[in-house]
Structure 1
């Protein structure tokens, strides 16, 4: 690690030494039109005559002037571009003088006769048009066989971290498109990790409008940072793709490693077709966010929220708390990459059809993972007069498979009327097995001796199948009067889940004087069937009045039906019997209405909206131990809330942006939280619902400022936010002092709050050569809960400081280094002796070298530190990956690579967390050192004809 950072510092020092050389000069001039009027904000670039690579860049000031200081003696190509004018090119040779003044440089307006000349001369490394930056991919050299992700790392103003997350102009990139079309939905990584860099002609970074702004045609001031990949023409004429296969010997007592993946693409002006696939036992799951949710068995991410109008927020107008687990079967399933030992298979296809009147985007994706997790966990729970520690070792095997289908169809009936249909569906199945040993130790006071109190052995198995589908029809009408528009939507959603949990648990109680014998041995079959369906409708009307004002009115309706049948059978040697205390059946009808209106002022980048809505939520539910029961209990309640909303978005001149606002979010209690039935899947931690819950109100304020200088690629981002909770839904606990069995139940408490800020500052140390990014995040929170009917206030303070250094000093060397230091302090009101400080540090670096004979070397080091001195926790995990590869053949289509993963053989997945009244730590055994020899073949120009029809 030290050697990598020393190399980075050496590169900077070399740059400084060169800067002190006397053979340097300053180049300046002015960009003007044919009438000598200055052309402000023109893009000015210095290129190398040898290969047209970018040496330096900038923008002219208000007088059209530019200046490049401290230039190394040598020849340069000066290139100036301005919208509507023919690019200016000039060869600059040093004169030996310290200052070379080119004077006024005239750009000619583009005429029809000059258009052909412009097309031939317009090629430039980058073009700046307002807040849009367009990069010429061929001007940024990457090794043959590189992916788009490698290309993005080379672009000034763009950063890609070790996990593949993208930031551009200081902001997170949320969408990557190919020729303006979606690629496997909105997951950026599926495009950047699967498309080849040599297929890309241009990379465009810009601020896209929100879906609601596109739908209505009225600016709401909100922007989404987007990257568009424009393909080269030759890659639109034939198919292209990439195939990789690798294998390695067994190590550390595990079976041999194997990895295979590939993709194929066929694009043209109207159509895009892509297929991707992978299979491995190297923990490379290739999971997107949706895949991760699928792996957890969640149904909460199949919402078509863009159809829920209101306050131009683009978010859900109704939020049901706790439904993300969808009647969880309570076996911990984790789909995060890099944990445990996994075998993975995934594949899918993406198809787009795009004409002026018809747009179709659809994809299918299948993924399956078999995951083995062996973990050690420690958790300390704090009570008013002491604490207890739970030590756990567990082993589990999970299998999960999911089919996902997405479709979006848009049809322009005419210039005023448009219809859109959206479908997102998923079909999943899985099974899991868990063996867990838990031992609980009682601790008196803050540092007394530990006494073994309880021992639990659990052997569970589950089988589950899920289906979810969301279907939305949107209608948009634009009136002839500019700004007047109407939109309507109708949505039907359905989620089903069927699962069986076979629970076998044995409990031993060493300190208890009297114990319910039913707690000593639990053998049960728990069958759960759930159905959730929802009908939603929304209306939106926008009317301009005066010259700069818009009146926006909306109506939302939702009818939701929930039905859950949970049947618990006690298993005995002579037969099974129904357990009425754990079984439950319930049906809930939820009716939601919201009517709101806001006034929006929009003029010259300033967007201010003030609105008010009234919403009413009614629940009509019934529950009992069995659906044939004659003793149903009922929940009939109505909640009415007035919801204000204020939003400010100001797009100032010179790429400065200010935003802020206030809103009130209403969280409705989930079906599970309302049912007063216990769940004993973990016999030492039993959960139960509360039918008296009220909706949670979250008052939120936020404000921020961002700045980006396209002349020198300096960016600054600042954000401040705060939340205050009324009737917050928290999970209180009652601990049996004899058995240490914990019962958790939801209730409402008022007074929780959070406040935080985030700062990010990035700037070039040397343009096109070195960029430094600094960021810090502060967060202060107050969380409330009741422990044994005593109010506990937990105060959290977290401080995170990070830095990132990108070095591309020469074509044959790149280095990307990062460091993040996190400190979290937690204080408890009921047991101040357990106050603690958690430290989580992460240091990393990626080094890429081009060696003689066409050999490339890549290495990545990640060093993680986890510390909690209060409980003597200190874990350090260094991970070193190294690979060397060689490009084969004259066409450079093939690659052979030797990779060493976790060369130091130290891989271990570690996490630590401090919560309401507890602190926990976890160690998961994870795939460690292995070697892989792989072969890659790049397909280019494959002739693959796609049947064409006349439309």
Structure 2
């Protein structure tokens, strides 16, 4: 028998075991792959072993000796099989034949207790088989599931790809973000987790397009959580006026669902960060996700500081979110959500920055930065789906995003024994409205039409102010130098209107082939205005007038395109070649002149999928794309970036051409619970947009050019995970190499970087014993700037503990140690973080009492380094001190 037929079950004990093996066949003797087999102890009725057949239909169960079992076998589309067997102290063999059956109900009934089952592109986890009782949130459940993980941003990943949508009982849960779900759905409400691979929410489109990067997740609730209100009310208080209030309420029924989540605290637990806000899609599809063109509309943000690892000197936050869905009829579904988040963040950073000058000279700046940041974030979305029959679907979505951000930053800069005190004030109230309309129409079995359109309206108004003793660019700006302080101000306004629309026609040429024709357009219109002025000592205003200091730019992009794709499935192969013909036109008006550029481009792409087994595939993607930048890069008049950086755009910029190649492997082996994935990506950028930097000591003037030197990047990542009875082994590797070309003083500067990260962990999964996870991560970052090169090393061992004590106490602890060094041994930083929670809850009680401690080692700061072509820096970032919090939770 194949060596892959190892022990599948991890529910057996360490007592003497025997093997029961054989083959599951259909009525004509063909082995059935992915048949489910469970072994129930005839006396205790407990599930003690399970397995799934391999590609030959072979199975292997490990059972206790001298025990009687009820063996149940099921396969989708076949009548379930069942028999009783009494084991001895020798191995047993038995083949099983299943007969075809039209009804699928029996299969569901037999396999409901399977810890994991794979049905086509869906992986179903029975969560009780993996949880230990210490889990409190969805994220605690997910990290226990084979093949599922959370990244550093709190987003769910499967097969190394982000889960794009999370649902509860088939209803969208804050569509466009998975972090809100992982942090708020109670663990004790979850019955099953369904991972939906190759996901397409439009039934008519399934199988027509390549959805290999689309992964969704559906949470199935326990019976007592349906058609009833449930939730939690949590409150906490501690020394130094620390507090926490976190009520949340949920309701699910077939027609209506409602989720209400609120959170207020000053302990640094930010439920919705500014990074989350910027990345929040609201479920809106990237219109050109499978296209050949990308058009940046820019964020045009002010460079507002971001808390590192969600840690800061002090964080005060308030959060409220409401999500609903309603089905007034069988043909109409409406849903929506609203989110509000407020965060007041205080940060302190001490930096030493070495700027590279010509002739191997350098200059050092010692800077101390204090930041006080107020951020208000708001989102509202409404969605509707109208589906009167199986052949027609109409979707409409609208989402509004608005923020009100302000940051005051004080900088003490020491250069050449001269101290400059700088106050920077940044404000903005950007707003965007995104609308989406989709129509799907099936004319008959061979002809399908789709229409998709999106409109983006975006208005950004960043304001910048700096007050300082010295002004670095007195030779560049006509400032009044007789003032006691330099009070410089800049207003900007960026208005964007972007329309995307396309019609797709699918002609079904056979059971496993189709032709896709696409006709579409993108029309982007942007206006960019900016002016700079000085506030004098007498509060009067000195405007910086002239073409060098005032921007008034109108920038338009037009893309008309025609696409052709052919999809064919033959044997284990799926081929999907295609190409698109684009007619581009750009024009920008500024400085009294009008510049127009036209380009015709043919962009091919190729997708190949090799389905090696039902749960194992190899995918290849090749695509040539064109990328266009936003209006801010074309604006030639000066713009202030910060106190030591000025930017001037380039109206002659053109698009860049990108060659993208990817190879992906995925395997989920149910025989020995081995999960593997590996991804390889290569990109070459031609005419890439690159920085042209003119260093001026610790200051710089920057512009953007189309480089005639090609940038390249190569990345690879792989993960191997193996689950044994009560142990899980995980290893992961990430490698990234890049060669980039910039200009410094108008001279080419080529840089190479090579980053490596290796990690491994061993964790336990005992039901009645403490559980431990031991892990180690090692990172190396190599930088080669031509004349200089260096390497940075990070070592991070970590330990996680969760234990149930005396059946009513739960103890969890998380310890991380960091060691950061460089090749020259000029950096040697060590710091660590420890947090712990102690919870008490009587059996069947709705009350829970807890003691939380964070940063128990009272670590004051963390350290890091960074490097660019013209500077490298090391910094000390201060974090919130140790705190304790007493909590009370009431389960509704």
Q: Normalising by the residue count of structure 2, what TM-score does the alignment of the two structures yield?
A: 0.90
Deviations 1:340-367 (A, max 9, x none): 3211111111111246422222111111
**Matching residue of 2:712:** 753
The answer for the alignment partner of 2:368 in structure 1 is 393
Pairwise CA distance, 1:153: 3.4
**Shift of residue 267, structure 1, vs aligned partner:** 0.6
| Structure 1 pair 71–145 and aligned structure 2 pair: CA distance change class (3 A) | closer
Task: Label 1:117 to 1:65 Cα distance change in 2 as closer, same or farther (>3 A).
Answer: closer
275, 283, 296: which one pairs with 2:268?
A: 283
In the alignment, the residues of structure 1 paired with residue 111 and residue 664 of structure 2 have an alpha-carbon distance, to the nearest angstrom, of: 41
Distance 2:472 2:268 in 1: 39
Q: Does structure 1 residue 82 correspond to structure 2 residue 75?
A: yes
In structure 2, the CA distance between the partners of 1:404 and 1:604, relative to structure 1 (3 Å rule), is farther
One of 94, 102, 109 as aligned partner of 1:103: 94
Measure, in 2, the Cα distance between the counterparts of 1:714 and 1:592.
46
Instruction: Provide the secondary structure at the position in 2 that maps to 1:224.
Output: coil
Establish whether residue 891 from structure 1 lines up as the match of residue 844 from structure 2: yes
1:500 and 2:479 equivalent? no
Q: Does 1:808 align with 2:785?
A: no
How many Å apart are 1:472 and its aligned residue? 1.5
Q: 1:585 to 1:212 in 2, by over 3 A?
A: farther
Once residues 90 and 420 of structure 2 are traced to their aligned partners in structure 1, the CA distance between those partners, rounded to angstroms, is 80
Among 400, 405, 409, which residue is 1:434 paired with? 409
TM-superposed CA distance for 1:214, in Å, is 5.5
- Correspondence for 2:216: 226
How far apart are residue 106 of structure 1 and its match? 6.0
Partner of 1:257: 242
Cα 1:552–1:117 shift into 2, 3 Å: closer
Aligned to 1:705: 665
**More deviation, 228-237/115-124:** 115-124
Aligned 8 A contact 1:53 1:140 in 2:
no
Q: Offset of 1:860 from its aligned partner?
A: 0.6
* 1:107-256 matches, cutoff 5 A: 119=109, 122-143=112-133, 146-160=136-150, 164-168=154-158, 172-210=162-200, 215=205, 218-220=208-210, 222-250=212-240, 256=241
**SS of structure 1 residue aligned to 2:143:** helix
- Structure 2 counterpart SS, 1:385: coil
Partner Cα distance (1:301, 1:204) in 2: 23
Cα distance in structure 2, aligned partners of 1:556 and 1:623: 29
Could you tell me how far apart the structure 2 residues matched to 1:118 and 1:210 are? 23
My pick for the range that moved more, 633-642 or 43-52, is 43-52
The answer to which of 524-533 and 85-94 deviates more is 85-94
Map residues 361-440 of structure 1 onto 2, 5 A cutoff: 361-386=335-360, 387-440=362-415
Using the TM superposition, give the Cα deviation of residue 549 of structure 1 relative to its aligned residue in structure 2, in angstroms: 3.7
Indicate if the aligned counterparts of 1:339 and 1:909 stay in contact, CA closer than 8 A: no
- What SS does the aligned partner of 1:234 have? helix
Q: Which runs of 5+ in 1 are unaligned?
A: 1-14, 251-255, 441-451, 625-631, 940-951
Correspondences of 1:573-592 after superposition (within 5 Å) = 573-574=537-538, 575-580=540-545, 581-592=548-559
User: Aligned equivalents of 1:519 and 1:727: distance in 2?
Assistant: 41
1:725 equivalent in alignment to 2:685: yes
Query: 2:294 aligns to what?
Result: 318
Deviation larger for 557-566 or 85-94: 85-94
Distance 1:596 1:516 in 2: 52
- Compute the displacement of 1:865 (Å): 2.1
The answer as to whether partners of 1:698 and 1:724 remain within 8 angstroms in 2 is yes
Deviation at 1:577, TM superposition (A): 1.8
Task: Indicate how the Cα distance of structure 1 residues 107 and 519 shifts in structure 2: closer, same or farther if over 3 A, else same.
Answer: farther
Name the counterpart of 2:313.
340
Kindly indicate whether residue 801 of structure 2 is the aligned counterpart of residue 822 of structure 1.
no
SS at match of 1:185: coil
| Matched position secondary structure for 1:292 | helix
CA distance in 2 between partners of 1:237 and 1:225 (Å):
28
Q: Could you report, residue by residue, the CA deviation over 1:27-77 in whole angstroms, capped at 9, with x for unpaired residues?
A: 335545689876553212345678766543322346654323585776655
User: 2:688, 2:151 → 1: CA distance?
Assistant: 36
Distance 1:303 1:194 in 2: 18
Gaps of 5+ in 2: 1-9
> Comparing both structures, which one devotes a greater share of its residues to helix?
1
Write the distance in 2 (CA, Å) between the matches of 1:513 and 1:466. 33
Matched, 1:783 2:740: yes
Matched, 1:292 2:284: no
- The superposition leaves residues 766-807 of structure 1 with CA deviations (integer Å, 9 ceiling, x where unpaired) of 23x112122222222111111122221111122221113231
How many residues align? The count is: 874
Residues 52 and 817 of structure 1: CA distance in aligned 2, closer, same or farther (over 3 Å): farther
What SS class does the counterpart of residue 194 from structure 2 fall into?
strand
1:107 shift after superposition:
5.6
- The CA distance in 1 between the partners of 2:224 and 2:803, in whole Å, is 29
Would the aligned equivalents of 2:166 and 2:178 in 1 still touch at CA under 8 Å?
Answer: yes
Structure-2 residue corresponding to 1:3: none
Q: Indicate how the Cα distance of structure 1 residues 306 and 214 shifts in structure 2: closer, same or farther if over 3 A, else same.
A: farther
The question of whether the paired residues in 2 share the 8 Å contact of 1:564 and 1:587 is answered with yes
Change (3 A) 1:606 1:26: closer
State which of 721, 742, 754 in structure 2 corresponds to 1:762.
721
Q: Give the conservation status (yes or no) of the 8 Å contact 2:176–2:281.
A: no
Per-residue deviation, 1:877: 1.8
Does 2:643 align with 1:683?
yes
Tell me, yes or no, if the aligned pair for 1:169 and 1:713 is still in contact at 8 Å: no
* Structure 1 counterpart of 2:36, from 18, 24, 43: 43
- TM superposition score normalised by structure 1: 0.85
**RMSD of equivalent CA atoms:** 3.3
- 1:772 aligns with 729
Q: Secondary structure at the match of 2:271?
A: coil
In the alignment, the residues of structure 1 paired with residue 170 and residue 573 of structure 2 have an alpha-carbon distance, to the nearest angstrom, of 27
Shift in Å at residue 246 of structure 1?
0.8
**1:844 and 1:883 mapped to 2: Cα distance?**
17
Cα distance in 2 for partners of 1:89, 1:55 equals: 16
Distance 1:551 1:94 in 2: 57
Shift of 1:304: 7.7
How big is the shift at 1:499?
Answer: 3.8
Query: For each residue in 1:454-484, what CA deviation from the matched residue of structure 2 results, as whole angstroms up to 9, or x when unmatched?
Result: 64321122332121011111111112133x2
1:179 Cα offset (Å) = 1.3
1: CA distance, partners of 2:559 / 2:283: 17
Provide the secondary structure at the position in 1 that maps to 2:642: coil
Task: Answer yes or no: is the 8 Å Cα contact 1:213–1:219 preserved in 2.
Answer: no
Does structure 1 retain, via aligned residues, the 8 Å contact 2:36–2:111? no
Residue aligned with 1:318, SS: strand
Q: What is the CA–CA distance in structure 1 between the aligned matches of 2:44 and 2:406, rounded to whole Å? A: 57
Q: Deviations over 1:601-635 (max 9, x none)?
A: 234553222222222332332224xxxxxxx2333
Q: Contact 1:57/1:711 (CA < 8 Å) preserved in 2?
A: no
**Which of 711-720 and 600-609 deviates more?**
600-609
Contact 1:135 1:203 in 2 (8 A): yes
How far apart are the structure 2 equivalents of 1:508 and 1:497?
27
CA distance in 1, matches of 2:581, 2:102: 57
Residues 570 and 115 of structure 1: is their aligned pair in 2 closer, same or farther, counting only changes over 3 Å? closer
